[in-house]
Structure 1
Amino acid sequence: MNKVLHLKSRPNGLPKATDFEIIEQQIPVNNLGELLLKSIYISVDPYLRGKMSKTYSPPFELNEPVASKVVARVIDSKNESFTAGDYVIGYLNWAEYQLSNGTGLSKIDNHDASLSAYLGVLGTTGLSAYFALLDIGKPKPGDTLVVSGAAGAVGSIAGQIGKISGCRVIGIAGTDEKTELLKSKFGFDDAINYKTTPDINAAIKAVCPNGVDVYFDNVGGEISDAVINNLNNNARIAVCGSISNYNDTETQIGPRLLPLVVYKRLSIRGFLIADYADKFTEGVSQLTAWLKDGKLTYSETVMEGFDQLPEAFIGLFEGRNEGKMIVKV
């Protein structure tokens, strides 16, 4: 039998396990031109929350499969472009087995990195950090870069690219273990535990006495308000996500930032990784080179078992991941 995870109800606030349902079906049989795929690693990402609540298009439909990037193995192929045993990555359903006609699939191997790395540092996670920081943040040697959600999948990579670019890098995370990891493993110059810091604005000012030149924003909310208050003139903000607001049931009201945008001549820009699709090869090549040279490293939180998908997804919003959250099927 085959397991498929459906969205049973749209989450209200923090997602619950009961918002999902695992359906058992027969393993499908592939026809001419099709592949039978077995999922190996499934990517669990915060942005999926918006697709569940219909704020991110296209949304997930109720009683239909959830989907994200998946590393899969070709079990049987009746498609001349693929052979049994190939490993592929693509946007696929959360299912143990599924069919594909090959559209949108890319072959991968584990010569340069582990297969799971193609969901993280060598996938859209690493590419988000790479393009957003370099294209939007435009870091220069001597700049001070602050990264929120710094121990997460994108933030930990963005901070390291900041160091490669010659920046002084400060990370913001939610536990002492994570702030220590930022310094010991990822090479950040300093880190702040926002959960034990009574005045985040003062804390940022203390560790950034010369102000902040670049802000890589993964969380939004009060943390971002505090960082923006400490920005220098002509600072750049790359807005990658706003995880602190994804489960809000009411619209949050924060400081009015437009006066600061005017008087400090700030540049604030959001992005979708698809904006850089024509440059993915370039990005993966550079990230791979940095990995091989030891200039870049990464963390993964891997939960084992298809049935763990709901808990892995909920864990993103409870800070249970260090680096990329992945389910190994």
Structure 2
Amino acid sequence: MKLFHFHFIAKRLYSGSGIIKAQKYVLTKYFQGEPKKTDFQLVEEVLPDLRDGEILTEAEYISVDPFMRAYMIGYKLPVDMIGGQVAKIVASRNEHYPIGKYVTGSFGWRTHTICNPEKLKGNAGFAPFSLLPDISPYPVSLALGILGMPGRLGSNSSLRRKLMIRTTLLKRDCPPACFVPARDIAAYPLRVASPRCCRVVGFAGTDEKCYYLEKELGFDRAFNYKTVDIKAALKEGAPRKVDCYFDNVGGQISSNIINYMNKYGRVAVCGSISSYNESCSPKATILQPAIVLKELKIEGFLVDRWIDRWEEGINANLRWLVDGKLKYEEKVYHGFDNMVDAFVGMLRGENTGKAVVKIK
């Protein structure tokens, strides 16, 4: 097994010049409800020749993630659409980044990118720029999922100690019940919780996903939130109530779960996808009485909180993957022209596992 290291010796350097045209998605309208193709403009630009220290990359996979829907309101329009990529180096004037190698970075929705890796250090964006080793037989797209930002968000060695154990996982003498709304990071709380004798229960949006959670990932119970009575499902899945809750959904489901928690329960919050496409903030049962009377601890977090230990966390996930302790699924869309369709499909819940777009 070859782990992540970020220093390589170049064998081939860029030695020519030519016109390279890149395409990119520019957001020209703020999202109103579900994102639409008319919110974007597809722009073509001519890239300059490389300077010393720079590389030219060509996107192979581009990520679509829920946070993109929520974050774009914070940018002044027009603005290039944000997002992570796995890209192949197709030209280089940097001896540490040879042609043919793959890199990951927050390049956005674009086909080609020129960058100077040295200048990107310390400027992580939503994921740090890094040079990928050979992770075969696994696809390089995993660098956008289980070996990338979602994987780093969900679980790694530092996240286990600093977040999961401290704010989500049970102490050994606590009643075992952990609830997970199951999106593409669902495997990670499970991987950390199960060895600690937690009962792990989840919600998903289809019966097929619930089957996958129970039969493939080992959830004790999974419920289709679109077809079940949430309060009844809570009582069935966690008869001793809930001690910890990993929340990336928000809305009334989260209110129901938090109000059903045991005293001194803990909640880790990393998103609220249930409201991202809403034109106004949804109404839900207030949480303050439960927080006060049950003395709950609720903590939000962002993925760059432990950016200084990124490589450590990714390597931990890779070891778990190789050892069979982590499983993954991907929903692969195809074609740069289908970026918006993939984005909308992910927000609708079409994907089981990480949603990515294969550009070619």
TM, length-normalised to structure 2: 0.85
Structure 2 portions without partners, runs of 5+: 1-20, 122-128
Q: Does the residue aligned with 1:222 lie in a helix, a strand or coil?
A: helix
Q: Measure the CA separation in 2 of the matches of 1:164 and 1:312.
A: 35
How much does 1:135 deviate? 4.1
Structure 1 residue 94 corresponds to structure 2 residue 109: yes
Matches within 5 A, 1:1-329: 1-54=21-74, 59=75, 61-102=76-117, 103-104=120-121, 105-111=129-135, 113-130=138-155, 131=159, 132-140=163-171, 143-148=176-181, 150=182, 152-197=183-228, 199-329=229-359
How much does 1:214 deviate? 0.9
Kindly provide the amino acid, as one letter, of the partner of residue 278 in structure 1.
Answer: D
Q: Does the residue aligned with 1:196 lie in a helix, a strand or coil?
A: coil
CA contact (8 A) 1:71 1:115 kept: yes
Q: Measure the CA separation in 1 of the matches of 2:165 and 2:152.
A: 11
Tell me the alpha carbon deviations over residues 40-76 of structure 1, each in whole angstroms, 9 at most, x when there is no partner: 111111111122222xxxx3x4333212111111111
Q: Measure the CA separation in 1 of the matches of 2:59 and 2:216.
A: 30
CA contact (8 A) 1:157 1:298 kept: no
How much does 1:95 deviate? 1.0
Q: Measure the CA separation in 1 of the matches of 2:39 and 2:205.
A: 26
Q: Measure the CA separation in 1 of the matches of 2:219 and 2:169.
A: 18
Q: Measure the CA separation in 2 of the matches of 1:281 and 1:253.
A: 40
Q: Measure the CA separation in 2 of the matches of 1:15 and 1:94.
A: 15
Q: Does the residue aligned with 1:232 lie in a helix, a strand or coil?
A: strand
- More displaced 10-residue stretch of structure 1: 287-296 or 138-147: 138-147
Q: Does the residue aligned with 2:222 lie in a helix, a strand or coil?
A: strand
Kindly provide the amino acid, as one letter, of the partner of residue 318 in structure 1.
Answer: R
How much does 1:28 deviate? 4.5
Q: Measure the CA separation in 2 of the matches of 1:165 and 1:312.
A: 36
Kindly provide the amino acid, as one letter, of the partner of residue 85 in structure 2.
Answer: V
CA contact (8 A) 1:172 1:194 kept: yes
Alignment RMSD:
1.7
Kindly provide the amino acid, as one letter, of the partner of residue 117 in structure 1.
Answer: L
How much does 1:319 deviate? 0.9
Q: Measure the CA separation in 1 of the matches of 2:311 and 2:110.
A: 28
CA contact (8 A) 1:159 1:171 kept: no
Structure 1 portions without partners, runs of 5+: none
CA contact (8 A) 2:169 2:193 kept: no
How much does 1:22 deviate? 1.5
TM, length-normalised to structure 1: 0.92
CA contact (8 A) 1:237 1:267 kept: yes
Q: Measure the CA separation in 2 of the matches of 1:326 and 1:136.
A: 30
